[in-house]
């Protein structure tokens, strides 16, 4: 009787232990599965969080905060827009951060598009309203194939070159883009759809922007250069690129200085920031810094001769358009130190970024 009771007791004890272990395993399994299915409910605590009585932050909230920060981040982007005088000019706008930078830049050139509320006074977008960017394809030779919708065709003939220039200059700001080719709804275009401008070879900055021949210039015996002249809309001063022609035998730096000193086309809305008699004496490029030396006529003012802000901007923007020039140092014969309009010495070479930042202020 005792033997039977003892065996029964052992059997019951073994069954009880197995039941407990199995229950523990099942419970732990449910907990693990619940954590996997509902990750947003997982919390992270620290001793400090437990002590201050505040509620722990959920991983889901962290993810939402991170996404919100990314969506509100902006980057400066140069867009070529139409100004109040009908010229194409660059404006630096803060656009939402995006990995599709080229496609986004084009979208912000479309009238009535996302750029509408960002446009500076007097400026407007150039691509016809409703234009959609179907696709972009970069080729090994630096050509960017741009495929747009049929709405692109809805523009006036007199705007054709401006549209081409705005697209070309906006897209070629990116290092891997040298020229663009246009497709419409999947079909390559040999000419522009309204006024028939030839584009079969693609369009690059070499084709110019705001083109004019210049004063008494022989086209056959001259070469094209692009320089920047100041313009003004209300209180805003900005610089407009103009492609003109200079003597064929001029070197790269002298050619641009020659074009600047010649000034913009007569009757233009642009101004010439250089005095008559200003001359470049020499130029020297070293480690990306272009040192330009001038006679004293480049300075303005009698009590404290200075280099005008407009003249400095024209020089820097015109020269840094060249691939090998990163910044410009201005020297004047007979002056130990060149100063700007504010009376501050130009002790360091001036870059394109320095000029762009000053014009935005």
* Per-residue pLDDT reduced to its tens digit, 258-281: 999 999 987 789 999 999 999 999
- 6 — pLDDT class (breaks 50, 70, 90): very low
Helix (H, G, I), strand (E, B) or coil at 90: strand
CA 319 – CA 352 distance, rounded (Å)? 9
Q: What is the pLDDT of residue 213?
A: 62
- Of 63-67, 199-203, 269-273, the range with the lowest mean pLDDT is 63-67
* Per-residue pLDDT reduced to its tens digit, 125-163: 999 999 999 999 999 999 999 999 999 999 999 999 999
What residues have CB less than 8 Å from 77, skipping those under 6 apart? 92, 93, 94, 95, 101, 104, 105, 108
Q: What angle do CA 85, 274, 246 make, to 5 degrees?
A: 75
Q: What is the pTM of this model?
A: 0.77
Is the Cβ–Cβ distance between 242 and 93 less than 8 Å?
A: no
Is the Cβ–Cβ distance between 261 and 295 less than 8 Å?
A: no
- At 317, list the tokens: 């923007």
- Of the chain, the percentage scoring pLDDT greater than 70 comes to 77
Q: Across 248-321, where does the E strand assignment appear?
A: 280-286, 289-294
CA 123 – CA 82 distance, rounded (Å)? 6
Please check the confidence at residue 25 and state whether its pLDDT lies above 70: no
Q: What angle do CA 120, 125, 128 make, to 5 degrees?
A: 160
- Beta strand 203-204 with 222-233: parallel, antiparallel or unpaired? unpaired
- 9 — pLDDT class (breaks 50, 70, 90): very low
């Amino acid at each position: 009787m005792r033997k039977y009771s003892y065996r029964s007791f052992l059997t019951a004890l073994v069954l009880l232990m197995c039941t407990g272990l199995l229950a523990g395993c099942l419970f732990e399994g449910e907990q693990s599965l619940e954590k996997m299915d509902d990750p947003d409910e997982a919390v992270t605590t620290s001793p400090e969080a437990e002590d201050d009585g505040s509620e722990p932050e959920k991983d889901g909230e962290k993810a939402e905060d991170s996404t919100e920060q990314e969506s509100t981040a902006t980057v400066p982007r140069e867009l070529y827009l139409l100004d109040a005088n009908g010229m194409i000019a660059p404006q630096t706008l803060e656009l939402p951060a995006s990995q599709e930078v080229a496609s986004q830049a084009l979208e912000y050139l479309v009238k009535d598009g996302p750029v509408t509320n960002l446009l500076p006074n007097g400026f407007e977008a150039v691509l016809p309203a409703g234009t959609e960017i179907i696709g972009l394809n970069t080729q090994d030779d630096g050509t960017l194939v741009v495929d747009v919708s049929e709405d692109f065709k809805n523009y006036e003939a007199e705007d054709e070159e401006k549209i081409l220039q705005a697209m070309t200059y906006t897209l070629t700001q990116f290092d891997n883009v040298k020229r663009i080719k246009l497709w419409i709804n999947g079909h390559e275009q040999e000419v522009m759809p309204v006024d028939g401008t030839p584009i079969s070879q693609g369009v690059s900055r070499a084709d110019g922007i705001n083109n004019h021949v210049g004063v008494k210039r022989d086209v056959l015996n001259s070469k094209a250069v692009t320089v920047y002249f100041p313009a003004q809309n209300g209180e805003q001063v900005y610089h407009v690129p103009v492609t003109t022609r200079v003597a064929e035998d001029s070197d790269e730096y002298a050619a641009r200085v020659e074009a600047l000193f010649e000034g913009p086309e007569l009757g233009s809305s642009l101004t010439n920031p250089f005095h008559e008699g200003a001359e470049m004496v020499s130029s020297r490029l070293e480690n990306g810094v272009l040192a330009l030396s001038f006679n004293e006529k480049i300075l303005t003012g009698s009590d404290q001769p200075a280099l005008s802000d407009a003249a400095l901007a024209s020089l820097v923007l015109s020269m840094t358009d060249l691939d090998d020039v990163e910044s410009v140092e201005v020297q004047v014969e007979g002056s130990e130190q060149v100063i700007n309009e504010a009376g501050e010495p130009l002790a360091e070479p001036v870059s394109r970024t320095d000029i762009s930042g000053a014009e935005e202020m």
